[in-house]
Amino acid sequence: MVSNKSLFEEEERRRLLDVLRQSFSSLETAYILHWIPEQEEDFYKILINDSTIADVELNRLNQDVVPIINSMPLSQYKVGLSKINQIKLAVAIDLARKDLNKAK
């Protein structure tokens, strides 16, 4: 089950979802924490389940370009996070845990 399905309904979001599924075999839920649309690329910071943060770069103009994906444990991401981003993250973690509990 992937949360925020409305976020993944557009063609670009479906591509993002496919990339996440290929990169994270244990994906059950995902929440976009940050999205930066640039001229040629989209940059995403995504909470995967309730334990991993993924940085994803998707080329908007050429879908044949291999996406760049980096991940880190949640504990590493939290270090030095601003108050607003801590709140955003806390909400996303809470929602992700609810999704994961529903899936059980």
Residue 29, helix vs strand vs coil? coil
Report angle CA 74, 76, 82 to the nearest 5 degrees: 90
Reduce the secondary structure of 38-54 to three states and give it as a string.
CCCEEEEEEEECCCEEE
pLDDT in tens, the chain (104 residues): 444 544 555 666 788 999 999 999 999 999 999 999 999 999 999 999 999 999 999 998 888 899 999 999 999 999 999 999 999 999 999 999 999 998 76
- d(CA 61, CA 66) in angstroms, rounded, equals 12
pLDDT at 61: 85
pLDDT at 9: 58
pLDDT at 11: 61
- d(CA 33, CA 25) in angstroms, rounded, equals 20
pLDDT at 8: 55
